[in-house]
Amino acid sequence: MARGHGRILASIWEDSDFLALDEREQRLYLFLISQPNLNHAGLLPLTLRRWSRKARGLTSAELEKCLEALEAARFVVLDDDTEELLIRSFVRNDGVWRMPKVMGAMVSGAFEISSKRLQQALLAEMDRIPLEELNDEPTKYRGEDGPSIRRQVADHIETLRKGFGNPTPDPTGGGSVTPSDTPSGTPSDTPAEGGPKGSTRGRAGASRAHSPAPAPTPAPNPSPVQDASVEADRQTELIVVGDSDFVGATDATPGEPEPVTADVIVGEWLNRCAKRPPGSVIGRVGKQIKQLLADEIAADDIRRGLAAWMAKGADPSSIPSFVNQAMNSQPAQIGNVIALPSGSSGQPLSGTDAKVAGWLAIRDQLRQQGGTA
């Protein structure tokens, strides 16, 4: 589903790194944040010509210069070879990391990344997520203890690491240089005492963007989901709203079944692989599974189809066909199915006898229905 809004923390106007950009670069960053095809991992296709049509007189060359400035300031990571752009700290600033379901969508979106540099940058961001701030109390599911929010988010990050393996920079030297190979601090993350406020890109403020509207009366015992949506530092937010639907799923309330996400099934598939498949294959498989779930195909049917697909070693584009075969391998019993008679020994007839018996059975059925034989 396309995004309906973009979230910008109001405190960005106190961010010394952001204020150091010129007006064109600032506008471009806000433009990128509000793109409808920005996924939960912060990934965008690099479409300079399309973007240049969004303002009169804007050119692709000017956009490219602004993007280079944003990359130098570590707001984005680019790869010209794969034509991809990553908003580096999107997962932390948009509050994605606080909600297990949205983190699942993030992992699915991350598997679409082809660039090793972007994969490396995103993994570095995962190292900066403060998991210790998440609720570690077990969640309740049908009266039983389930994994805590912290455990669920940590599992999603582990799935991402398994999927990416150990990405290294492209040996060909193509693309753009990753701003930082290690999870070092964003510029202005740790300002000197009495100096300007730290960068809003360096702190992971909690998100309300994906949360439902609050109930009229607060529950006496807040659920882990409510705890997860409390804002850190009470930062004010500016929200650019395009429609009434918020982006992504929200955490299930206690007692609701936890839906199976694409990254869960991808993780199960990776665990069954003898060797980790290439990243491009993982991304294609993730896209197919994501679409099947969007078509409301049951997770167990997808798993059976994947098992058959793995046995054949076919192309990922054929996964829907294998899933369809798994779903419909047993023919349904419908009203016009005719049971063929058996021989005197009780064994099914074969050859010419079976054909003759079949035609006789059809004749008898037509007679019963008032037809002619």
Decide: 9 and 238 in contact? Cβ < 8 Å.
yes
What are the two backbone dihedrals, phi and then psi, of residue 211, each rounded to the nearest 5 degrees? -95, 150
Contact 8, 14 (CB under 8 A): no
Cβ atoms of 117 and 64 within 8 Å: the answer is no
Q: Is the pLDDT of residue 213 over 60?
A: no
Predicted confidence at residue 97, as pLDDT, reads 87
pLDDT band at residue 343 using 50, 70 and 90 as cut-offs: low
> How many Å apart are CA 152 and CA 138, to the nearest integer?
10
Q: What is the mean pLDDT of residues 73-83?
A: 95
- Name the burial class of residue 371, with classes exposed (0-12), middle (13-18) and buried (19+) by CB atoms within 10 angstroms of its CB: exposed
Residue 208 has what pLDDT? 31
**How would DSSP label each residue in 189-208?**
SSPPTTSPPPPTTSS-----
Phi, psi of 51 (to 5 degrees): -65, -35
Reference 159, options 307, 253, 41, 44; nearest CA is 41
Strands 5-9 vs 43-45: parallel, antiparallel or unpaired: unpaired
Most confident of 9-13, 193-197, 238-242: 9-13
Per-residue pLDDT, 114 = 93
pTM: 0.51
The whole-number pLDDT of residue 93 equals 83
The number of beta carbons lying within 10 Å of the beta carbon of residue 108 is 28
pLDDT category at 80 given cuts 50, 70, 90 is very high
- Answer whether 194's CB lies under 8 Å from 3's CB: no
pLDDT value for 74: 94
pLDDT at 175: 43
CA dist 167 and 158 (Å) reads 14
Pairing between β-strand 5-9 and β-strand 237-241 as defined by DSSP bridges: antiparallel
